[in-house]
Amino acid sequence: MKLNAMPGRVVVKQHAAKLKGAIHLPPNRAKLYEIGEVIAVGALEGYGPEGKYSTKEVYTPGDLVLFQLPQAFAQTITFDIKGVLNCFLHVEDILAKLTRDEIALDAFQIVGRFMLLEPSVRHESLIVLPDNAEEAKKENLHFSVLQWGKDVKHEFFKGQEVFPDKGRVNPMSIERTDLVFVDQQFIYGALGTE
């Protein structure tokens, strides 16, 4: 019997094999982050009410994906089918694909409307104060683009500085590299090349 998914849904099961490497995510009790193996995909073009949504991402059975779910919804969309727990994800719950059976930065590909940014802290003052100085050092958090999903509507380039809503970025770490991911709608500006 073949499992069919409705438009805009991707069915995943927990990936049984242990992957080399790790993705470190914040301990956010409101969201559940998992790596799953795609087993069925609904038609992704024209999903949603009146077919007004679409995605350029393509998922096929066997793909490994990193997904996020509100913790409260995880049980409502998970079903036991022939002894295997299957989760019927909405396509926008998928954050990234793994291009091979390993968690490494070069095997990690952001998808959909998400962007992967590298944060950095820069000292903006020309005067260097000792750590015990009473006046606080002026530091600014900056974000550079590393990757973006195929559904991101604006044109970006790798290394471009962008200005996200700092309250909407989600920290993660791969191979001891501190990163953040964010939905494109929370990028409010960018520095161009001119």
pLDDT per position as a tens digit, 52-97: 778 888 899 999 999 988 878 888 999 998 888 899 999 999 999 9
pLDDT confidence of residue 43 = 84
Query: Considering the domain boundaries, does residue 41 fall inside one?
Result: yes
44 phi, psi to nearest 5 deg: -100, -20
In terms of Cα–Cα distance, which of 86, 42, 83 is closest to 67? 86
Strands 64-70 and 161-164 turn out to be unpaired
Looking at the 3D structure of the chain, how many domains does it have? 1
- Average pLDDT, integer, range 172-179: 90
| Structure confidence by residue, pLDDT tens digits, 37-54 | 999 998 888 777 777 778
Query: Considering the domain boundaries, does residue 3 fall inside one?
Result: no
Torsion angle defined by CA atoms of residues 74, 75, 79 and 82, in that order, rounded to the nearest 10 degrees? 100
Contacting residues for 51 by C-beta, under 8 A, at least 6 apart: none
Parent domain of 55: 9-190
For 16, 84, 172, the CA distances from 58, given in Å and listed in that order, are 22, 24, 24
Record the pTM: 0.83
Torsion angle defined by CA atoms of residues 157, 95, 108 and 14, in that order, rounded to the nearest 10 degrees? -170
Query: Considering the domain boundaries, does residue 24 fall inside one?
Result: yes
Query: Considering the domain boundaries, does residue 2 fall inside one?
Result: no
pLDDT confidence of residue 121 = 83
Query: Considering the domain boundaries, does residue 82 fall inside one?
Result: yes
In terms of Cα–Cα distance, which of 133, 92, 89, 85 is closest to 110? 92
In eight-state DSSP terms, residue 18 is: P
CA–CA separation, 109 vs 95, rounded Å? 9
Confidence band (pLDDT; 50, 70, 90) for 13? very high
Query: Considering the domain boundaries, does residue 102 fall inside one?
Result: yes
Query: Considering the domain boundaries, does residue 165 fall inside one?
Result: yes
pLDDT beyond 60 at 115 = yes
| Structure confidence by residue, pLDDT tens digits, 124-171 | 555 566 666 665 555 578 999 999 999 998 999 999 999 999 999 999
